[in-house]
A and B are shown apart, each in its own frame.
Chain A
Amino acid sequence: MDVIHQKYILKAKVFLVFFCLVQFYNCKNKDEISDVKIVYENEKAVAVYFATNLDENNIKIYLKGNKETSVLGETVKENGIITFIPIVPFSNGKTYEIQLEILFQKIY
């Protein structure tokens, strides 16, 4: 297998993981997140971005199976696109979940 082939497999793996989870998320929150894309630098997945009408402060990313500790990184929103840059690149083969977290305020 050549290097280019391997690179595409790696891209497909990470992308598919995100894609599947976002599709699952969209079943419940229709049209809130779309066009999920991974940014690669030197064959490392260094960021993920997606279109959304949600507030970037309410978005968190978790390693699947660990809901206690969100992935550390920087979240920025520009023109309806949220970009999340983890402090270390996403790991190959791991599954991540994009989650909307809203703090409910009780009004008396």
Chain B
Amino acid sequence: MKKILFSIVLFGMVLLTLSAIKKDNNPLTDDFIIGDTGIASINALSFGPNGILFIGDSKNAAIYALDTKDSNEKVKAEEISINDFDNKIAASLGTTKDNIKITDMAVNPISKSIYFSVNITDGTPVLLKLNGEQFENISLNNASYSKIELTDAVGVDETDSRGRPIRNWAIADMMYHKGKIMVSGLSNKEFRSTFRSIEFPFNNKQDFASLEIWHAAHGRFETYAPIKTFNVINIENEDYLIASYTCTPLVLFPLKDLKGNEHIKGRTVAELGGGNSPLDMIVFEKEGKQKFFMSNSNRPVMRIDYDDIVNFKDSLTEEVTEFAATDGVTYDNLPFVNVIQMDDLDDENVLFLIRDREGDLVLRNRTKQWM
């Protein structure tokens, strides 16, 4: 009898220990599996909590959450200045720069490590982490991950009005915000431009809204172009999506409305100039005031004051007829051109991947003091 009692107590203790261990685990990664992710392309990268990296794969029309296990906290990043960057990445992949495309860059906000996604011309996607001036391969074939497939993503063979394939824009930009991964891109619906908000850990629930904006440079309402880059702005205790599109409207959408398969019309607060595509948008405080910074394909990095956005109560509804002219919220052009990738590096620095005046691709940090 004593033996039976002892066995029961022992069994109970083992169960308690196991459950305690389970509680110590990261609940965000409890449902992760280990194996081949099957990622077919990398269009966007964005860090979430605990070193979890979200990877947007337009080919598969899926979002992957990858546990990088890169969660050792670092307050300040190292100084970074690496010339000939595309040749170095290409050489680490055994090829030359004409055979690669750097599709995104993301800084882990905890460790300050820098990650790059690269697509090889043969279609192979690669994820690299910078270690000093060398690269480390982050395996996509043997990784701890979870995945969600986007519902109603734009079809594999669909094209735009000029016959160009648009599947690549199934995922245009991503950002983790308050427990959700937010995704801009194109759907297969009549109003293609779409915004998704997906709970993380993934649970198959996807909130979806189709978007409509007044495009001042084109002089019409549009629903078919994806948001190219976005961030979140809080105005009077309400979160808004601050989004920019090609040619280059800046639009606000109340985040609370972007759900339930609704069709939402945004408020265009600026036309930042046609003939341009926005690339990245970051936000940080300078002297106690929030400022937004946006890099562009054909314009310098723009600085937009929070106060100017908040104080612009109007909505643009007129066409901007002069080519590349601007309207609405004003901005300052910063002396940084050809910034291909931009991200927040640490409290004092931003990170630029920039093509300099000699044509060299350079990775370097830049103090926020001079931005």
Contact = CB atoms under 8 A, between A and B. Distances in A.
Interface of A: 44, 61-63, 66, 68-73, 86-91, 94, 96
B126 interface: yes
Interface in B204-259: none
B99 interface: yes
A61 B124 CA distance: 20
Contacts of B120: 88
B306 interface: no
A69 B91 contact: yes
Q: What's the interface size class on B, roughly?
A: 20 to 34
B95 to A, nearest CB: 4
Interface in B135-188: 135-137
A71 B96 contact: no
Nearest to B138: A87
Interface in B115-146: 120, 122, 124, 126, 128, 133-137
A91 B92 CA distance: 12
B103 interface: no
A42 B110 CA distance: 41
B288 interface: no
Contacts of A90: 94
B99 A72 contact: no
A72 B95 contact: no
A91 B96 contact: yes
Nearest to A62: B91
B96 A72 contact: no
A68 B94 contact: no
B81 to A, nearest CB: 15
